[in-house]
């Protein structure tokens, strides 16, 4: 186990099933340049969206344990499916050892502050949509808002395989966004951290007529506020970021280098043994 260090200088742990959480990690790195990030991509089990709740909870707990072993002061569940199904489980498991932040609550809080919105659309994996977590939380904060949720199960796998910004991705995106239940929306939550990678294509579909929200900026803002509140913001430039995966994939390495420069080095961590 790594040697314990001053809590301010401990890292922020971030995990997702694959490359999607890199959008969150990148936003946090830009907002908090002095912080070190330790990222875990569970590429051996992606996508989480078609896994059982029990499996997702097991994966999330084991990854959280790994990040605690790296002395992380805060853990971000950078996955909507894991946030929807395992946030409370991870929070209970971690206890007082670290603060846990999900990707659902920050964006729900932000979107319900916009008084101009009336019809909110949500696109996500099957598991996230089945949990109905966005509709429940949005309605709890503002019962007057209408929420239309649409499962888009092909998108995360498509993005992991590098199929975006091309004819294939545009055809699939157009098919999903043309569903009847999304016809009246004035805003859309990209409720999967993979989806910011196709945000431009989604914006092109709506031609500026629909407000598009993704989690990354909202989560980065909450992380900064939390570290400041707990007085554990790093006060000096930290070590280089570290990237772990449960199984090597070329697309993950390429995407990580796009976000964090060509110096990214992946380390395979066999945490399931």
* 84 and 147 share one domain: no
> Is 273 domain-assigned?
no
* 115 and 210 share one domain: yes
> Is 110 domain-assigned?
yes
135: part of which helix (H) or strand (E)?
A: helix 133-141
Tell which of 176, 193, 215 closes a domain.
Answer: 215
Query: Which entry of 11, 25, 67, 79 is annotated as an active-site residue?
Result: 79
> Is 56 domain-assigned?
yes
Per-residue pLDDT of the chain in tens (273 residues, 90 and over written 9): 444 458 999 999 999 998 889 999 999 999 999 999 999 999 999 889 889 999 999 999 999 999 999 999 999 999 999 999 999 999 999 999 999 999 999 999 999 999 999 999 999 999 999 999 999 999 999 999 999 999 999 998 888 887 777 888 899 999 999 999 999 999 999 999 989 989 999 999 999 999 999 999 999 999 999 999 999 999 888 678 999 999 988 878 888 888 887 678 899 998 986
Identify the pLDDT of residue 221.
95
* 181 and 223 share one domain: no
Count: domains in the chain? 2
CATH number at residue 88: 3.40.50.1860
Verify whether residue 79 is a known catalytic residue: yes
Identify the pLDDT of residue 262.
66
* 205 and 110 share one domain: yes
* 136 and 234 share one domain: no
* 197 and 147 share one domain: yes
* 34 and 95 share one domain: yes
> Is 2 domain-assigned?
no
* 222 and 193 share one domain: no
* 61 and 95 share one domain: yes
Identify the pLDDT of residue 12.
98
Query: Which entry of 192, 212, 227, 245 is annotated as an active-site residue?
Result: 192
Other CB atoms within 10 A of residue 126 CB: 15
Q: pTM here?
A: 0.90
* 183 and 238 share one domain: no
Q: Which residues of 227-257 are buried (b: 16+ CB within 10 A; e: fewer)?
A: beeeebebeeebeebbbbbbeebeebbebbe
* 132 and 174 share one domain: yes
* 211 and 109 share one domain: yes
For residue 178, give its domain range.
105-215
Residues near 83 by Cβ (< 8 Å), separated by ≥ 6?
A: 77, 102, 103, 104, 133
């Amino acid at each position: 186990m790594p040697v314990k260090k001053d809590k301010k200088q401990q890292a922020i742990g971030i995990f997702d099933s694959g490359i999607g959480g890199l959008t969150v990690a990148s936003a946090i790195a830009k907002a908090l340049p002095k912080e070190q990030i330790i990222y875990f991509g569970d590429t051996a089990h992606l996508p989480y969206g078609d896994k059982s709740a029990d499996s997702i909870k097991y994966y999330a707990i084991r990854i959280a344990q790994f990040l605690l072993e790296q002395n992380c002061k805060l853990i971000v569940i950078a996955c909507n499916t894991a946030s929807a199904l395992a946030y409370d489980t991870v929070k209970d498991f971690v206890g007082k050892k670290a603060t846990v932040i999900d990707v659902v609550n920050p964006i729900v809080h932000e979107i319900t502050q916009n008084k101009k919105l009336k019809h909110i659309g949500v696109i996500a994996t099957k598991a996230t949509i089945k949990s109905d977590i966005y509709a429940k939380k949005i309605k709890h904060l503002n019962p007057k808002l209408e929420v239309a949720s649409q499962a888009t199960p092909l998108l995360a796998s498509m993005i992991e395989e590098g199929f975006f910004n091309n004819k294939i991705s545009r055809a699939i995106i157009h098919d999903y966004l043309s569903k009847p239940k999304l016809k009246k929306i004035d805003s859309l939550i990209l409720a999967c951290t993979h989806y910011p990678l196709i945000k431009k294509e989604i914006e092109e579909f709506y031609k500026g007529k629909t407000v598009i929200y993704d989690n990354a900026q909202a989560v980065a803002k909450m992380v900064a506020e939390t570290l400041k509140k707990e007085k554990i913001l790093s006060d000096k430039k930290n070590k280089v970021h570290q990237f772990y995966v449960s199984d090597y994939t070329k697309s993950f390495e390429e995407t990580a280098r796009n976000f964090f420069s060509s110096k990214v080095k992946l380390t395979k961590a066999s945490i399931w043994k």
